[in-house]
Amino acid sequence: MKMPDEVPETLIAPCGVTCLACYVHLREKKSCSGCCSLMDDKPSHCAVCTIRSCVTAHHVTFCAECEDFPCVTIKQMDRRYRDRYHVSVIENGRRRRMIGTEAFLKEEKARWTCACGGAISQHDQVCTECGKAI
């Protein structure tokens, strides 16, 4: 799939995961429209995510805005993401807080766009268009 020109802010999750580069968003069938989308198309593990409800309970838009950040929950998730995908959701959150959501999303779009113009899946670490590994 080609990286789209317009990237809505619904494609970034409160935890720091960029849905834009998620394998569920990038697949052709039953594509998820993102954590913050109002569409009921999320995979089950995202639909029941504790971080989403935690963010709501703390009256913040995303984790890094919370006074408890980085808490045990996000630290565990960060470790999992760093180990499996070489992505730090904590660093993503700090960066988003520092430069703002719009600029952060722009950086993420560039980060996950292959030289061929395709979108790279952070979970599979390959371009969804040409199959090149990152």
Residues that bind Zn ion (CB under 5 A): 114, 116, 118, 127, 129-130, 132
CB of 31 to Zn ion, least distance (A): 18
Q: For residues 81 and 112, which CB has a smaller minimum distance to Zn ion in the complex?
A: 112
Q: For residues 47 and 130, which CB has a smaller minimum distance to Zn ion in the complex?
A: 130
CA 98 – CA 88 distance, rounded (Å):
15
Q: For residues 78 and 108, which CB has a smaller minimum distance to Zn ion in the complex?
A: 108
CB of 128 to Zn ion, least distance (A): 8
CB of 7 to Zn ion, least distance (A): 17
Tell the burial category of 33 from Cβ atoms under 10 Å away from its Cβ (0-12, 13-18, 19+).
middle
At residue 18, φ and ψ (nearest 5 deg) are -90, 105
